[in-house]
Amino acid sequence: MNNDINALNEAIKEKGHTWVAEENHMTKMSSEERIKMLGAIIPDNLNENTSSTQETIDTTALPSSIDWRNNNGNFVTRVKDQGQCGSCVGFGCTATFESMLAIEKVHYLQSLSVADSFFCSSHGTNCLGWWTDSYFKANKSRGVVADVLFPYSEAFSNGAPICITIPNRAQHAYKYGQINSTTTIAAAKAYLNNTGPIAACFMVYEDFYGYKSGIYKHTTGKHDANHCICIVGYNDNNGDGYWICKNSWGKRWGDQGYFYIAYNQCNIDVWAKYGVSDTKDAPSQPLFRLYNGTDHFYTTSETEKVSAEAGGYKSEGISSYVYENQISNSFPFYRLYNGIDHLYTTSAAEKKSAEAGGYNSEGIACYVFETQINDSVPFYRLYNGVDHLYTTSEAEKKSAEADGYNSEGIACYVLEA
């Protein structure tokens, strides 16, 4: 590649293109290092794999632009960095899945584990390439866990990529029920409007590494290999239309990690684009509530519930739904006991104060939200001098206050039973 950025910018101007190039960490790499990061491998049976049914699309009925980073909210997770690995398919497809989770299900940005989806699936523990359709088929039944359970960096702790075993993995996997594909520009635009972001692959030429801003059109240099990204929107731009793409080369590349590429450039509109829908949240756990006449006790454990019942506690059903393991935006809900009363808190300071006041820590009861997520509700805490009571019910809160409990505010936010 010709690393003379000034010469490239002159060539861009001469061809009447509107994008701008700059020197960056990608242009400073050797050609061999860059090509290793281009991991979109076209299947031999590509035409057989593309099995979408494209209905006639009336593009006049579509808006001239959409951007899921700002479409009545942001539904796009942060830009990530694939490093020196041909895992771009993992990043582009995982980003697509993350956005669909936010749109359809969890209503907040849940970062998913590229390492889990790429190195622990049928792809295997290597940095060789893949294809979007293959990724979505491989992870449909197994799902993908939260990034916090298997961060990408941990896959390279010993150099070559590894897969780690996640205890009770199935209980922490987010899933999708439908794999979708589009094969025309009109269909992809309709999909972006009606459903959400979509994964796509395209040919990378030598000039692309230096992209900084503007609408990319191939200007100079040879074809190196193929790359996968997530399309988060489009803009018809008065006839000079382009796709809005989220890359996986970190925020220091391009326009804060994003780039715009013109329609029909570099085979981006030749190969099928793939997306998912019918997403499913990772299973939350019921938080059982029990009472022994003086103390309310809460647990996610069926075994502990049975043991508590044998010790004189009576079940009062499911108080709410929480998470047994940490997910994005969740916090530990500490459990303490002073021999009479169980106290629960998300505050490390309150936990320390309670321990100084005679409570003994019994560890983390579960994981909850400290601030309100769209589908979560307040978990009120009340105290009568002896017993702490927690409830999501305004009516029960009011009744408890009438019976001598004093409100101590909102302990946290949970999912309503």
pLDDT in tens, 71-128: 999 999 999 999 999 999 999 999 999 999 999 975 668 889 999 999 999 999 999 9
Sign of torsion, CA 32 36 40 43? positive
Q: Distance between CA 232 and CA 196 in Å, rounded?
A: 7
Q: What does the radius of gyration of the chain's CA atoms come to, in whole angstroms?
A: 26
Provide the 3-class DSSP secondary structure of residue 46: helix
Q: How remote is the C-alpha of 85 from its chain's centroid?
A: 20
Within 8 A by CB and 6+ apart from 294, the residues are 340, 341, 386, 387
Is 373 exposed, middle or buried (CB count within 10 Å of its CB: 0-12, 13-18, 19+)?
Answer: middle
- Is 227 known to be catalytic? yes
Residue 188 φ/ψ, nearest 5 degrees: -65, -40
- Dihedral class, residue 267 (left if φ above 0, else alpha if ψ from -120 to 50, else beta): left
In the chain, domain spans: 5-280, 285-416
Answer for the pair 112, 98: CB distance below 8 angstroms, yes or no.
Answer: yes
- Helix axes 132-139 and 88-104, enclosed angle (nearest 10): 60
* pTM recorded for the entire structure: 0.75
What are 331-380's pLDDT values in tens digits?
A: 899 999 999 999 999 999 999 999 999 999 999 988 898 887 756 889 99
Q: Distance between CA 71 and CA 29 in Å, rounded?
A: 36
Q: Scanning the structure block, which residue is given the tokens 């969740």?
A: 330
Q: Distance between CA 199 and CA 193 in Å, rounded?
A: 15
- Sequential DSSP letters for 283-304: PPEEEEEEE-SS-EEEES-HHH
Answer for the pair 38, 88: CB distance below 8 angstroms, yes or no.
Answer: yes
Answer for the pair 218, 49: CB distance below 8 angstroms, yes or no.
Answer: no
- Which CATH number does the domain 5-280 belong to among 3.40.1710.10, 3.30.70.20, 3.30.70.260, 3.90.70.10? 3.90.70.10
Provide the 3-class DSSP secondary structure of residue 251: coil
Residue 236, pLDDT score: 97
Q: Which two tokens stand for residue 357?
A: 């006041």
Q: Distance between CA 222 and CA 147 in Å, rounded?
A: 36
Residue 51, pLDDT score: 42
**Amino acid identity, position 405:** Y
Closest by CA position to 39, among listed 130, 119, 118, 117: 130
**Going by DSSP bridges, is the β-strand pair 406-416/376-383 parallel, antiparallel, or unpaired?**
antiparallel
The b/e string for 57-69 (b: 16+ C-beta within 10 A; e otherwise) is beeeebeebbbbe
Answer for the pair 248, 260: CB distance below 8 angstroms, yes or no.
Answer: no
Q: Which two tokens stand for residue 61?
A: 């009925």
Residue spans of the chain under pLDDT 50: 1-2, 48-53
Residues β-bridged to residue 249: 81
Selected catalytic residue, list 17, 123, 172, 227: 227
Residue 30, pLDDT score: 96
Enumerate helices (H) and strands (E) in the chain, giving the number of each: 10, 20
Within 8 A by CB and 6+ apart from 54, the residues are 182, 183, 184, 187
Answer for the pair 297, 290: CB distance below 8 angstroms, yes or no.
Answer: yes
Provide the 3-class DSSP secondary structure of residue 274: strand
Q: Which two tokens stand for residue 37?
A: 């990061």
Selected catalytic residue, list 85, 88, 127, 412: 88
- Is 25 known to be catalytic? no
